Amino acid sequence: MINFSNVHKIYPPDQPALVSVDLKVRERDFVFVAGASGAGKSTLLKLMFGAERATRGEVLVVGRNLSEVGAQGIAYLRREIGIIFQDYKLLTRRSVIDNVAFGLEVLGVKKKPRYDLAMQLLEVLGLADRAHSLPPTLSGGEQQRVAIARALIHKPRLILADEPTGNLDPDMTKVVFDLLLEANAAGVTVLVATHNLAVIEELNLRTIVLDNGKIIGNFQSPRALG
Amino acid sequence: MRDGGKKVGGAYGLDNLWKGDVDLQYFSKWGVAWQLTQQAFRSLCASPFTSILALLTITVVMLLVGALLLVSQHTYGLMADAGRGLTISVYLKDAAAESEVAGLKQAIQAAPQVAEVRYISKDEALKSFHKSLGEQAGLLEGLETDNPLPASVEVTLGQERLDQEGFEQFAASFRENPAVESIQYDRGLVGQAAALFHFFGSVGLGAAALLLLLAAFIITNTIRLMLYARRHEIVIMRMVGATAGFVIAPCLIEGCALGLLGAVAGLVVLYFLFLLLTGLLAQLELVRAILPQLTFLPWYYVFLVILMGVAVGAAGSFMAVRRLADE
């Protein structure tokens, strides 16, 4: 699903963000990327969905070599990925259901089926009664669930989440990870960048640790390491 | 679990949802085009102040472009009138055979610039000269038997545009004819008329180009402002897999719509101004004498102004969005 070979990312003028990263993520994996702020977690994710290009090395995501893919190819890649951000990135002047259906709108899905599916998704996420509200009127947890709904609506093959629970309380954090785990159980590969060690320890799933742009650990079962 | 959703068997039922009965029907190409057009108009309406301001400015610019065309159209008419009636004298050799002269007349008559061709025999030339001398005509006595004046063909030009080079070429084309001795015409008048044409042509063209550049600049900045207002939306669109075309197309439609509406509005205003001004100018004797018939732009000029509006709109918006294509 994801294959990084000797990947370097240097921001101008001379700021290394990732140094010689080798990484393999198989289909249906659930992987945490841990590390302190500035360790390179976000850059790693950005390289995966084509928001940044590697300075050196090869990045393969969902069968595509991203150093050879143009802007159009990146757009098509993202249609197979669901992206979740810490700050939700919702359209504040569009209703909740518009936000969720937006992922299908850009794919050219007709209005009725995209709103039907968006409403079903909001129902399972417990947000049906907020469907016509504007995002700023929702709590942080509700907004993140809307963002997750948008990332899930097109049944992505890969979910990339950058600090998805950074602004949430423990209860909402659990809701968000329950959703991600369920998506993973349904066959979606999930990669979550977080510095929430409690969650990593509790879920005890594969964890990659970054420090100063280098992978310093790749643990299949972090709890076993204490 | 607080604030959570509906659980199905300990799960949210995502798998059931994805395998569900919602049939994802996709738009046809025309459906997508319609969707993008709607998006463009939603965007125009979302920033009404910017849109109206841009539309007003483009209306004024296109009104000026139309006015320039209108003025140049009437100047062109005046210049053509100045050229009309200009004559070229083609003097013939005494030895020219009748058949050669007939062939020359036929060739001149066939030229599109020519309105009239008149043959003046040697005798007629002498009579005319005699007449023009009036009381001094006695000076010509004795010439009847040995007339030194050549026969000629007087060529009167029609409504074709005066062009110095074309005029020279036209005259030169008959110079090599074996029946022709020499050709004479008023170089000064032809030169002045041509210079006037060039002057009005260059000034008009330059002013129109400047105005169109201004319109493109306004549209570029309007679209940039709209893009700035929608920057978060665009980032999110790209994140969920929108192609550059999906982001750019509504902007191009917006630019074309602004150009089109601006051109149409400009022409409508110009028409009413034209009606108002012609009513006032018709009362002036001088204007009536110079321009007996004031007409509005012909349909093909109207079409040209609208086309220019749309083209400028497309170019202006393309300038604003071209960087988005690579992001």
- Please report, for chain B, the start and end positions of each structural domain, with discontinuous segments joined by +: 2-80+194-326, 87-185
Measured CA to CA, the distance from residue A105 to residue B241 in angstroms comes to 10
Question: H or E element: which one contains B314?
Answer: helix B299-321
Q: Looking at residue A2, what is its pLDDT?
A: 92
Q: Looking at residue B35, what is its pLDDT?
A: 82
Q: CB contact, 8 Å: A172 with chain B?
A: yes
Q: In this prediction, what percent of chain A has a pLDDT beyond 70?
A: 98
Measured CA to CA, the distance from residue B180 to residue B96 in angstroms comes to 8
Indicate if the pLDDT at residue A100 is higher than 70.
yes
Q: Looking at residue B9, what is its pLDDT?
A: 37
Measured CA to CA, the distance from residue A182 to residue A30 in angstroms comes to 11
User: In order along chain B (327 residues), what is the average pLDDT of each group of 10 residues?
Assistant: 40 72 71 83 81 86 87 73 70 84 84 82 82 71 75 77 65 80 73 70 81 81 78 83 85 89 94 88 69 79 91 85 68
CB contact under 8 A, A110 and B243: no
Q: CB contact, 8 Å: A75 with chain B?
A: yes
Measured CA to CA, the distance from residue A165 to residue A174 in angstroms comes to 9
Q: CB contact, 8 Å: B71 with chain A?
A: no
Q: Looking at residue A23, what is its pLDDT?
A: 92
Indicate if the alpha-carbon torsion angle A212, A202, B3, A106 is positive or negative.
positive
CA B282-B71-B201 angle, 5° bins: 150
Quote the pTM value. 0.67
CB B52 within 8 A of CB B278: no
The CATH number of residue A176's host domain is 3.40.50.300
Q: Looking at residue B251, what is its pLDDT?
A: 85
Q: CB contact, 8 Å: A175 with chain B?
A: yes
- Give which of B8, B12, B15, B34 to mutate to test A binding, by max A Cβ within 10 Å: B12
Strands B152-157 and B114-120: antiparallel
The total of other beta-carbon atoms located within 10 Å of residue A66's CB is 20
Q: In Å, what is the CA distance from B212 to each residue of B44, B72, B215? A: 21, 17, 5
CB A150 within 8 A of CB A140: no
Q: Looking at residue B10, what is its pLDDT?
A: 41
B284 or A118, which is more confident?
Answer: A118
Which residues have a Cβ under 8 Å from the Cβ of A74 and sit 6 or more positions away? Answer: A49, A50, A66
CB A182 within 8 A of CB A152: no
Alpha helices in A49-139 (DSSP H): 71-78, 96-105, 111-124
Give me the residue from B5, B25, B244 closest to A72, CB to CB.
B244
CA-nearest of B2, B64, B1, B5 to B214 is B64
CB contact under 8 A, B243 and A75: yes
Q: CB contact, 8 Å: A127 with chain B?
A: yes
3-class SS of residue B186: coil
**Helix, strand, coil distribution of chain B in percent, nearest 5:** 70, 10, 20
CB A214 within 8 A of CB A38: no
* Residue A57 within a domain: no
Tell me how many domains chain A contains.
1
Rounded to an integer, the average pLDDT of A46-54 is 91
* Residue A148 within a domain: yes
* Residue A186 within a domain: yes
When pLDDT is cut at 50, 70 and 90, the band that residue A31 belongs to is very high
CB contact under 8 A, B325 and A141: no
Å between B55 CA and nearest CA of chain A = 25
Q: Looking at residue B7, what is its pLDDT?
A: 42
Q: Which residue segment(s) compose the domain that A204 sits in?
A: 2-52+69-224
Model-level ipTM above the cut of 0.90: no
Measured CA to CA, the distance from residue A35 to residue A38 in angstroms comes to 8
- Give which of A45, A46, A77, A107 to mutate to test B binding, by max B Cβ within 10 Å: A107
Question: What is the four-CA torsion angle of B281, B287, B291, B294, rounded to 10 degrees?
Answer: 0
Which residue carries 């002045």 as its tokens? Answer: B192
* Residue A220 within a domain: yes
Q: CB contact, 8 Å: A110 with chain B?
A: yes
Indicate if the pLDDT at residue A219 is higher than 70.
yes
Q: CB contact, 8 Å: B33 with chain A?
A: no
Give me the residue from B11, B240, B325 closest to A78, CB to CB.
B240
When pLDDT is cut at 50, 70 and 90, the band that residue A85 belongs to is confident
CB A140 within 8 A of CB A167: yes
Å between A108 CA and nearest CA of chain B = 5
pLDDT digits (tens, 9 = 90+) for A165-179: 887 788 888 888 888
CA-nearest of B122, B184, B187 to B149 is B122
Q: Which fold has domain B87-185?
A: Alpha-Beta Plaits (3.30.70)
CB contact under 8 A, B12 and A125: yes
CB contact under 8 A, B241 and A114: no
